[in-house]
Amino acid sequence: MGIEGLHPLLKSAIHRVNIKNAEFQETTCAVDTSFLLHRGAYACAGKLVQKEPTDRYVQYVVRFVERLLEWNIKPIMVFDGSPLPAKRITNINRSDERERNRLRGQKALASGKTREAEQFFQKAIEITPDMVLNVIRTLRTMGIDVIVAPYEADAQLAYLNRAKIADYVITEDSDLVLFGCHHILFKLDDQGNGELFEREKFDLKKEFGLDSFERFCWMCILSGCDYLENITGIGLVKAKKVMSRTQISNIDLILKQLPQNLGKLNLRVTDDYITGFKRAHLAFLHQIVYDPIQRIQMPLNPLPDDVDREHLKYAGQLDETPLAFQHAIGNLNVKTKCIVDKFNPSQWKYRSPVSSSSSSSSVIPGHLKSIWSKEYTSRSEPFSLTSTPMSRKKISTPSPPRKVRSQKDSMPTATSDASTSAAILNMYLSTSNEKKIDITTKNSTSVEYHTSMIQSIDIVKRPLLFNQHDNDTCSRFFSSSVTTKTSIFDAIDENEKSTPNQENISPINIHKRFKGSNTNNYEGSSSQLLR
C-alpha cells in the first residue's frame, strides 16, 4: 500500500508533534478508517475468514475514536467506497492472493498448526461491506461524523483537508502526498505523538531536483503505485534520476526515452504501459470525491479542457442522482448499490468535542459542528501551527576521555561508594556550566543538572547499587520524549498499558548510556508552498 520507500524521502517536511498540545485543541482530523479496520481485524482474523461472528474490529475503531475525543479533537471517519476502475488489476491480484492465503490457512488449521493458520488468515482478511456497516452504525450511536468516499478514501481525505473541512489527515499511507494534502499525521502513538507532514515545507527542488509537483507525481507513478505496477528494475531512485535530469515536458517522450536515459537499451516501454501511466496520473489528479457542504460529487481538481475523456473514466464517474448522498452517509452498499440503512442526519444527535470540554463558552464554532448540519461552515483560515509543537530534543554525546589527563581530571579512586558516584558523574557531565551533586545519604545520591546536553531540569534519585548490571539502552537522565513510544494501535489492542520496570542507576554505566544514546531530528526546513 502506498509508494514504497517514499516516506523517508519526506523527512525534510516532517517533524514531531503531539496532538494533545494547545495548537491541536478543537481541531478536526479526517481519519483513514481503512487501515484501522485492517489493524483491528488482525486480532480476529481466524473468525473473520471462517465467517464466525466477532466485533473485535469494531471495538478497535471505537477505542481509537474515544482517544481522539479525550484529546478534544473532532474526528471525521472516512471509508472506502466503490472499486476504482484504475485499480481493477491491483484489486484482482489482491483478491487472488487473499484466497490463496485462506486456503493455506485452512490446510494448516486442519493439520493442527494453529499459529501458522492464524498468520495465513491475517493475510486473507477482506474488509466487507457488512463489516463497514457495523462500524458505521456504532460510530453513529457515538455521534461521530462518517463519510463514505465515492471511490478511494485517499482522494476523499485529501479533499476534506484541502477544502479546510479537516485540518489534517491521520493515516499510514504516503499516497496522500500525491493527492495534494497539506497536513498529514503519520505514526500516531498512544501518547498523542506523531509525525506531521507539512506540504509548505516540502522543497521539491532541494530534495528531488524537480521543478513542479507534476514531475513529482510522475516520479512516484514510475516507481510503482496502486494504479500501475512499476517496470522491473525501476524504483524511486531511478525514477528520481529520470525526472530530475530531463527537461522534456511531454510524458510520452519521457517514457519512450527511458531505455536511453537509464542506459538499459533492452528495456521495453509498451504503449499499454504509457496508457496505464496516464490513467494513473488522472486517478491522482481528478478522482471523484464528495463535497458534504454542497452535497454533490465532483473531481478532486478541476478538469482541463484538453483532458482525455476516455482515460478520465478510470478516475471514476460522477453520480448526480440522489443515491450519491445516500452513498456518502453510509446508507448504500458500495458493491451492490442497494439501500442497506435508513440513517437521516437531520434526525441525529451529533457529538461535538466542545460540548464535553471545559471551555467556558457553550457556543460551538461552525467548523466543529457536524459536516451534515446546515449550520456547518469550514474554517475561514487554513490550519497552521504557531510554532514547532514538539521538536525532538537534541542530546549531544560527551567527548571520550583524553589519553593524557591532568592530576585534576584523573580517574577518581574508589574511597567510598558515595564519593565515587559524585566524581564519576562530575567527570561525564563536565560539558555543563551548571551542575550540582548532592550526597544526601550514605546509600543514595541526588543529582540536579541543567546542561547543554539535556534541555530540561530533571531530578534523579536512585539508590547506589554497584553489584547489579544495568544493560538498558535508555537512561533516566534522558527526557522521556526521546524514547520510542508504543504505537497507539498496539496499545489499543492491549487492555492496559504495561508499567515500565524500575531500573537501577549504576554510575559505572553512565558513560555507556550517553555513548549509546541515539536521537533523530525530524524537524523539516522551510520551503516554498507547492503549487
Reading the chain (531 residues) residue by residue, the pLDDT tens digits are 679 999 999 999 999 999 999 999 999 999 999 999 999 998 898 899 888 999 999 999 999 999 999 999 999 999 999 999 999 999 999 999 999 999 999 999 999 998 999 999 989 999 999 999 999 999 999 999 999 999 999 999 999 999 999 999 999 999 999 999 999 999 999 899 999 999 999 999 988 999 899 999 999 999 999 999 999 999 999 999 999 988 899 999 999 999 998 888 788 999 999 999 999 999 999 999 999 999 999 999 999 988 888 889 999 999 999 999 999 999 999 999 999 999 999 989 888 776 554 444 457 888 889 999 999 998 878 788 754 434 433 333 334 444 444 444 444 444 444 444 444 444 444 444 444 444 444 444 444 433 333 344 444 444 444 344 444 434 333 334 434 444 554 555 554 444 444 444 343 343 444 344 444 443 443 333 333
Q: Cell numbers at residue 469, please?
A: 548490571
Q: Answer whether 15's CB lies under 8 Å from 523's CB.
A: yes
How high is the pLDDT of residue 513?
A: 40
Is the domain of 229 the same as that of 193? no
Q: Cell numbers at residue 522, please?
A: 525530524
How high is the pLDDT of residue 396?
A: 35
Which of 368, 396, 429 lies at the terminal end of a domain, its last residue?
Answer: 368
CA dist., res. 385 & res. 349, Å (int): 31
**Residue for cell digits 524521502?**
9
Amino acid symbol at 316: G
Burial level of 229, CB count in 10 A (0-12/13-18/19+)? middle
Q: Is residue 531 part of a domain?
A: no
Is the domain of 33 the same as that of 174? yes
Is the domain of 108 the same as that of 164? yes
Helix, strand or coil, per DSSP, at residue 35? helix
- Chain-centre distance for alpha carbon 318: 30
**Residue for cell digits 484504475?**
86
Q: Is residue 406 part of a domain?
A: no
Q: Cell numbers at residue 74, please?
A: 473532532
Q: In terms of Cα–Cα distance, which of 530, 465, 447, 460 is closest to 214?
A: 530
Helix, strand or coil, per DSSP, at residue 74? strand
Is the domain of 51 the same as that of 136? yes
Q: Is residue 346 part of a domain?
A: yes
Residue 317 neighbours by CB distance under 10 Å: 14
CA dist., res. 190 & res. 380, Å (int): 31
Is the domain of 64 the same as that of 213? no
DSSP 8-class letter at 529: P
Q: Is residue 228 part of a domain?
A: yes
How high is the pLDDT of residue 132?
A: 96
Measure CA of the first residue to CA of the last residue in the chain; give whole Å.
26
CA distances to 55, 267, 281 from 229, rounded to whole Å, are 35, 15, 13
Beta bridge partners of 147: 78
Q: Is residue 22 part of a domain?
A: yes
Amino acid symbol at 500: P
The beta strands (E) that lie in 190-311 are given as 193-198, 288-291, 296-299
Q: Is residue 485 part of a domain?
A: yes
Domain range holding 492? 417-516
Is the domain of 193 the same as that of 325? yes
- Chain-centre distance for alpha carbon 123: 21
With a CB cutoff of 8 Å and minimum separation 6, the contacts of 322 are none
Alpha helix segments (H runs only) across 295-376? 309-312, 323-328
Is the domain of 348 the same as that of 461? no
Q: Is residue 390 part of a domain?
A: no
How high is the pLDDT of residue 156?
A: 99
Q: Cell numbers at residue 130, please?
A: 457488512
352 phi and psi angles, rounded to 5 deg = -90, 145
Is the domain of 309 the same as that of 218? no
With a CB cutoff of 8 Å and minimum separation 6, the contacts of 406 are none
Is the domain of 194 the same as that of 314? yes
Helix, strand or coil, per DSSP, at residue 494? coil
How high is the pLDDT of residue 263?
A: 86
Is the domain of 87 the same as that of 197? yes
Q: Answer whether 105's CB lies under 8 Å from 49's CB.
A: yes
The beta strands (E) that lie in 182-262 are given as 183-186, 193-198
Please tell me the pTM assigned to this model: 0.72
CA dist., res. 202 & res. 375, Å (int): 35
How high is the pLDDT of residue 171?
A: 97
Q: Is residue 409 part of a domain?
A: no
Beta bridge partners of 298: 289
Which of 269, 293, 313 lies at the terminal end of a domain, its last residue?
Answer: 269
Is the domain of 43 the same as that of 143? yes
- Domain with residue 335: its CATH number is 3.40.50.1010
**Residue for cell digits 456547518?**
376
Beta bridge partners of 322: none
Question: How wide is the angle at C-alpha 461 spanned by C-alphas 432 and 452, nearest 5°?
Answer: 15
Is the domain of 245 the same as that of 150? no
User: Total structural domains in the chain?
Assistant: 3
- Domain with residue 234: its CATH number is 1.10.150.20
